[in-house]
């Protein structure tokens, strides 16, 4: 079993709503980055829900790229936005919902194969598995990435809303 660890550190000063802190990571991605209570939009910096959303969007995108690659469809680009919903319930502020909005450019993939890979990625994403929240997702292909699976051409045409008729024959038996 392979494993690795990552760490980050935080310093918080003051109370919950009026306090503030800084987060630092060894990679220098965050160097004393300010963070505050998530609903305080007037203050600069990030918040724990925002950091979780960023981690989830990044982890899901990497997992989807892996799932697509293993299926033989290496993606050109995956754009994921994770939206975290926090609710003040009896137990306190709780992350209850995360919605993933995914748009991917994947050459030569059929919509059904893309959806299968997206569902596998949602189930296999390490961040998805670690969260105790309802995770929803909307996944779609960008126009330049999708290839349609066309049905065989049929010898039928529409004669009006909800009405199909065989090409070459009118309702009165005359040919078109």
Share of the chain above pLDDT 70, in %: 77
User: If DSSP codes are grouped into helix, strand and coil, which group holds residue 129?
Assistant: helix
DSSP 40-75: -TTS-SB-HHHHHHHHHHHHHHHHHHHHHHHTT---
* Contacts of residue 13, Cβ cutoff 8 Å, sequence gap at least 6: 19, 20, 21
H-assigned helices in the chain: 48-70, 111-124, 126-130
User: If DSSP codes are grouped into helix, strand and coil, which group holds residue 112?
Assistant: helix
Q: Are 30 and 22 in contact (CB under 8 A)?
A: no
User: What mean pLDDT is predicted for residues 52-74?
Assistant: 96
Q: What is the pTM of this model?
A: 0.76
pLDDT digits (tens, 9 = 90+) for 89-114: 999 989 999 999 999 999 999 999 99
pLDDT digits (tens, 9 = 90+) for 7-34: 999 998 888 777 888 999 899 888 888 8
Question: Is the predicted pLDDT of residue 35 greater than 90, yes or no?
Answer: no
Work out the pLDDT band at 152, boundaries 50, 70, 90. very low
Beta bridge partners of 104: 78, 141
Q: What pLDDT was estimated at residue 19? A: 85
Residue with tokens 């494993």: 3
DSSP state of 146: B
Mean pLDDT value across the chain: 83
The pair of three-digit structure tokens given for residue 148, joined into one six-digit string: 């349609």
Spatial separation of the C-alpha atoms in residues 154 and 167, rounded to whole Å? 9
pLDDT digits (tens, 9 = 90+) for 64-88: 999 999 999 999 999 999 999 999 9
């Amino acid at each position: 079993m392979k494993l690795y660890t990552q760490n980050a550190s935080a310093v918080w000063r003051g109370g919950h709503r009026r306090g503030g802190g800084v987060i630092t990571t060894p990679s220098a991605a965050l160097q004393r980055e300010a963070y505050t209570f998530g609903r305080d939009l007037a203050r600069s910096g990030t918040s724990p829900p925002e950091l979780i959303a960023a981690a989830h969007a990044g982890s899901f995108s990497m997992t989807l790229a892996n799932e697509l690659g293993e299926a033989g469809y290496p993606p050109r680009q995956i754009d994921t936005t994770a939206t975290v919903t926090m609710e003040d319930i009896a137990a306190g502020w709780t992350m209850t919902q995360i919605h993933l909005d995914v748009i991917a450019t994947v050459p030569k993939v059929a919509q059904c194969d893309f959806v299968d890979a997206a569902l596998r990625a949602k189930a296999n994403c390490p961040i998805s598995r670690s969260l105790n929240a309802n995770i929803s997702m909307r996944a779609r292909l960008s126009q330049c990435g999708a290839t349609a699976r066309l049905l065989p051409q049929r010898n039928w045409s529409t004669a009006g809303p909800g009405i199909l008729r065989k090409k070459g024959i009118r309702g009165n038996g005359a040919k078109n």
